[in-house]
Amino acid sequence: MSTLASGHAADRASSGSSPDPSLGLALAELAGRIGGQVLLPGTGAYTAAATPWNVAVASSPVAVVAVADAADVQAAVRFADAHDLDVVVQATGHGALAHTRPSLLVHTGRLDEITIDPVARRARVGAGVRWQQVLDAAAEHGLGALAGSAPHVGVVGYLTGGGLSPVARTFGYGSDLVTAFDVVTGDGELRRASATENPALFWALRGGKGALGVVTAVEFELLDVARIYGGCLYFDGADAERIVSAWKTWSATLPEQASTSVAVLRLPPLPAVPPPLAGRCTVAVRFAWVGDPSEGERTIDPIRGLAPVVFGGLDVLPFPALGMIHSDPVDPMPVHEQSVLLRELPDTAVRTLLARTGPQADCPQVIVELRLLGGALAREPRQPSAVCHRDAAYSLLTIGIAAPPVVEATARHAGELMAAMEPWSGGIATPNFGATSDPALVARRYDPATLSRLVTLSASYDPRVRMAASHPVRAAAGLVQTRP
Ligand SMILES: Cc1cc2nc3c(=O)[nH]c(=O)nc-3n(C[C@H](O)[C@H](O)[C@H](O)COP(=O)(O)OP(=O)(O)OC[C@H]3O[C@@H](n4cnc5c(N)ncnc54)[C@H](O)[C@@H]3O)c2cc1C
C-alpha cells in the first residue's frame, strides 16, 4: 500500500514549494509505486519525519520518503538522481547535518527488523532500529550489544561512524563487530557488503558514515555479557581540579576491562534533572567494568574516596541499562557539539581544559566530557575499516545549547577550547562526535590515505554525487591534497 501524505503533490509543486514544477507530479507517481510514504511540506507527517532530534539543524527537503523496504530506498535514490536532488538519510536526527542543496530525505524509521541469532551470537537489524531495542532483544538471550552512551541513538548512524561505547575499551569500536551491511549505494544499486562481498565498500561503510549510500540493514556480533558493574559518581564542581587530575592519573593504569570518562556538567534546572545536579556545576566520573563486580568495585574505590559524592553510585547493571552510565538527554533539543581526539593529556592540558570549563570559568557548555580511549579501541579489527586515529588517547566533546541567548557564546567557547587543546590533539577527530558538513572538520576524522580511498570509492559507488554526506568528504580530500 503506497501513500502520498498530503495527496496534493502536483498542486504543491505548482504552488512553488518545489524547485521543479514537474516534481509534484513525479512525487505523486513515486508515492504510487513504493510501499512506504512520500511526505510533503505543509503536513504534520512531513514535519515530524523531517525534524531531527537535534532541532537546531534546519531540515527542509523537497519531500521525505518514509521507506518501507530496500526497494523503496532504491526508488528514492533513483528518483533523486532523475530530479537532481541530493539524498539525505535520517533515522533519528541525533547526528543531523545541515544541508542547503535541494534534497530528498530518506527516513529509515520503518526499517525496524530485529533478528537475534543466539547460537551464532549475531544480530541483524534494520536501519530504523535504535540501540535500546537491540539491547532489550539481545538480553532475552543473555547477550549484550556494543551500544553507545545514549541507547535511543540509531544503530546504523552510530556504527557507520565507528561507535564509541561506555564499554569500548573492552570490545573496541562498535563497527569492529559489524559483519555485513545491506546498502543502496548512491548509484541506486542494492548491494551486500561484508569481508567477502564488496569488501572495499564494507571497509568504507565502517567509518565513512553515509557518504557512499543508504544502509538498509546491518549485521553484527553480540557480546556474551549479561551484566556489567558500573554507573556514575557525581561530585561538586568545586572539586573539579582534584577529581579530573586524579582521574587522569588513575585512568592511565586501568586494564581493558574498564572504560571510563569524566565530565564537567552544568545541567539546567529542569524537572528531568535530579535536584542535586540541577542549576550548578558538577563533575561526573563514569565507569564500566566487564568482569567480576567486586574487582570493579575495588578498581573505582580510589575515585570514590576523593571528595563527597553528591549524587549517583555504582552497581551491577543488567546490560540493557547501559544508558544509565551517562544518562544522556532523551528528548529532542537544539544542540551544539564539537569534538577532538587527544593524543595525550599532560598536566598542562588538564589545567588548560579546567581554566575554560572548571567551576570558576565562564563556560556556556552543558557537558564537557573526556573519554578514555585505548584498550581494544587501539587494535585494528580483523577486517580493516575506515575508522582512523586508533592511537588517540582521549576524546574531548563539548555539548551546549544551540538556541538564543547562548548559541553564539556556546559555539565561540567550543571553538576557543578546541583551539587551546590543539597542542595535544594535532587536529584529529572521530566521525560520530560533532556532526558537521564543514570539509575542514571532516578532514580531521581521517588520515590522508583513508580519505583518498573514501573519495575513490565514493566516485565509484556514487558517481553522480547523490549522497549529501559525500560532498564534505570529497571537499575534505581537496583540502588535504592542497595542503602545503
Ligand atoms: C545524546 C547523544 C549521545 C551520543 N552518544 C554517542 C556515543 O556514546 N558514542 C558514539 O559513537 N556516538 C554517540 N553519539 C553520536 C551518534 O552516534 C551519531 O550522532 C550518529 O550519527 C547518530 O545516528 P542516528 O541514526 O541516531 O542519527 P541521524 O541523524 O539519523 O543520522 C546521522 C548520520 O548517520 C548516517 N546514517 C544514518 N542512517 C544511515 C543509513 N541508513 N545509511 C547510511 N548512513 C546513515 C548519516 O551520515 C546521517 O547523516 C551521540 C549523540 C547524541 C546526540
Contact 402, 437 (CB under 8 A): no
Q: Is 339 helix (H, G, I), strand (E, B) or coil?
A: strand
Looking at the structure, do residues 358 and 271 belong to the same domain, yes or no?
A: yes
Q: Is 50 helix (H, G, I), strand (E, B) or coil?
A: helix
Contact 229, 289 (CB under 8 A): yes
Centre of ligand 1 from the C-alpha of residue 157, in Å: 4
Nearest CA to ligand 1 atom 12: 432
**Block residue for cell numbers 537491540:** 134
Residue 464 lies in a domain: no
Looking at the structure, do residues 356 and 409 belong to the same domain, yes or no?
A: yes
Atom of ligand 1 nearest to the CA of 162: 11
Residues with CB under 6 A from ligand 1: 52, 89-97, 108, 127, 148-150, 153-154, 156-158, 160-161, 163-164, 209-210, 214-215, 328-329, 432, 435, 469
pLDDT at position 5:
53
> By residue range, what is the domain housing residue 182?
114-221
Single out the residue of 154, 106, 220 nearest to residue 469, CA to CA. 106
Centre of ligand 1 from the C-alpha of residue 45, in Å: 22
Looking at the structure, do residues 401 and 298 belong to the same domain, yes or no?
A: yes
Residue-averaged pLDDT of the chain:
94
Going by the DSSP 8-state scheme, the letter that residue 16 receives in this structure is I
What confidence tens digit (pLDDT) does each residue in 118-162 have? Answer: 999 999 999 999 999 999 999 999 999 999 999 999 999 999 999
> How many domains is the chain partitioned into structurally?
3
Helix (H) or strand (E) holding 219, with range, is strand 213-221
Pocket test for ligand 1, best of 54, 65, 156, 158 (most atoms within 8 A of CB): 158
pLDDT at position 20:
65
Contact 12, 24 (CB under 8 A): yes
Helix (H) or strand (E) holding 232, with range, is strand 227-236
Looking at the structure, do residues 422 and 287 belong to the same domain, yes or no?
A: yes
Q: What is the rounded average pLDDT of the residues 76-102?
A: 96
What confidence tens digit (pLDDT) does each residue in 96-125 have? Answer: 998 889 999 999 999 999 999 999 999 999
Looking at the structure, do residues 312 and 429 belong to the same domain, yes or no?
A: yes
The partner residues of 311 in beta bridges, in order of sequence, read: 234
Percentage helix, strand, coil for the chain under 3-state DSSP, each rounded to 5? 35, 25, 40
Atom of ligand 1 nearest to the CA of 216: 41
- Residue-wise DSSP of 267-334: E-S-TTS-GGGBTEEEEEEEEEE-S-HHHHHHHHHHHHTSS-EEEEEEEEEEGGGGGGTT----S-B-
Atom of ligand 1 nearest to the CA of 90: 30
Single out the residue of 458, 435, 459, 457 nearest to residue 445, CA to CA. 435
Distance CA(51)–CA(332), nearest Å, equals: 9
Distance CA(212)–CA(327), nearest Å, equals: 32
Centre of ligand 1 from the C-alpha of residue 93, in Å: 7
Distance CA(141)–CA(27), nearest Å, equals: 44
pLDDT at position 18:
47
Residue 200 lies in a domain: yes
Contact 126, 112 (CB under 8 A): yes
Atom of ligand 1 nearest to the CA of 163: 11
Looking at the structure, do residues 48 and 135 belong to the same domain, yes or no?
A: no
Distance CA(250)–CA(253), nearest Å, equals: 6
Looking at the structure, do residues 411 and 274 belong to the same domain, yes or no?
A: yes
Nearest CA to ligand 1 atom 38: 157
Cell readout for 41 is 511540506
pLDDT at position 19:
53
Nearest CA to ligand 1 atom 35: 157
Looking at the structure, do residues 76 and 195 belong to the same domain, yes or no?
A: no
Atom of ligand 1 nearest to the CA of 127: 41
Centre of ligand 1 from the C-alpha of residue 94, in Å: 5
What confidence tens digit (pLDDT) does each residue in 233-272 have? Answer: 999 999 999 999 999 999 999 999 999 999 999 999 999 8
pTM for the predicted model, two decimal places: 0.95
Helix, strand counts (H, E) of the chain: 16, 17
What confidence tens digit (pLDDT) does each residue in 304-324 have? Answer: 999 999 999 999 999 999 999
pLDDT at position 1:
39
Helix axes 470-482, 448-461, angle to 10 degrees: 140
Domain boundary among 158, 187, 221: 221
ω into 269 cis (within 30 of 0): no
Residue 357 lies in a domain: yes
**Residues belonging to the chain:** 484
Contact 142, 166 (CB under 8 A): no
Task: Express as a percent the part of the chain with pLDDT over 90.
Answer: 93
What confidence tens digit (pLDDT) does each residue in 386-427 have? Answer: 999 999 999 999 999 999 999 999 999 999 999 999 999 989
Going by the DSSP 8-state scheme, the letter that residue 91 receives in this structure is S
Q: What is the rounded average pLDDT of the residues 459-467?
A: 97
Band (pLDDT 50/70/90 cuts) for residue 21 is confident
Residue 419 lies in a domain: yes
Nearest CA to ligand 1 atom 7: 148
Domain boundary among 76, 107, 138: 107
> What is the CATH classification number for the domain harbouring 149?
3.30.465.10
Band (pLDDT 50/70/90 cuts) for residue 480 is low
Which amino acid type is present at position 257? Q
Residue 483 clears pLDDT 70, i.e. is over it: no
Looking at the structure, do residues 265 and 196 belong to the same domain, yes or no?
A: no
Q: Which residues contact 251 (CB under 8 A, 6 or more apart)?
A: 260, 262, 372
> What is the CATH classification number for the domain harbouring 326?
3.40.462.20
Atom of ligand 1 nearest to the CA of 149: 8
Atom of ligand 1 nearest to the CA of 173: 11
The separation between CA 282 and the C-alpha centre of its own chain, rounded to angstroms, equals: 25
Residue 484 clears pLDDT 80, i.e. is over it: no
Residue 460 lies in a domain: no
Which amino acid type is present at position 131? W
Q: Is the dihedral of CA 451, 209, 379, 167 positive or negative?
A: positive
Looking at the structure, do residues 85 and 120 belong to the same domain, yes or no?
A: no
| Cα→Cα distances 248→118, 244, 253, Å | 39, 6, 9
Q: What is the rounded average pLDDT of the residues 341-363?
A: 98
pLDDT at position 70:
98
Residue 450 lies in a domain: no
Domain boundary among 83, 107, 131: 107
Centre of ligand 1 from the C-alpha of residue 351, in Å: 31
Atom of ligand 1 nearest to the CA of 328: 1
The separation between CA 400 and the C-alpha centre of its own chain, rounded to angstroms, equals: 16
Nearest CA to ligand 1 atom 53: 94
Looking at the structure, do residues 256 and 321 belong to the same domain, yes or no?
A: yes
Pocket test for ligand 1, best of 183, 432, 461, 471 (most atoms within 8 A of CB): 432
Looking at the structure, do residues 246 and 310 belong to the same domain, yes or no?
A: yes
Q: What is the rounded average pLDDT of the residues 462-470?
A: 96
Centre of ligand 1 from the C-alpha of residue 346, in Å: 31
Centre of ligand 1 from the C-alpha of residue 134, in Å: 15
pLDDT at position 478:
83
Residue 284 lies in a domain: yes
Q: Which residues contact 329 (CB under 8 A, 6 or more apart)?
A: 150, 272
Residue 266 lies in a domain: yes
Give CB contacts under 8 A, 24+ apart, made by 475-480: 475/439, 475/442, 476/439, 476/440, 476/442, 476/443, 476/446, 476/451, 477/443, 477/451, 477/452, 478/439, 479/439, 479/440, 479/443, 480/443, 480/448, 480/451, 480/452
Centre of ligand 1 from the C-alpha of residue 211, in Å: 13
Centre of ligand 1 from the C-alpha of residue 335, in Å: 14
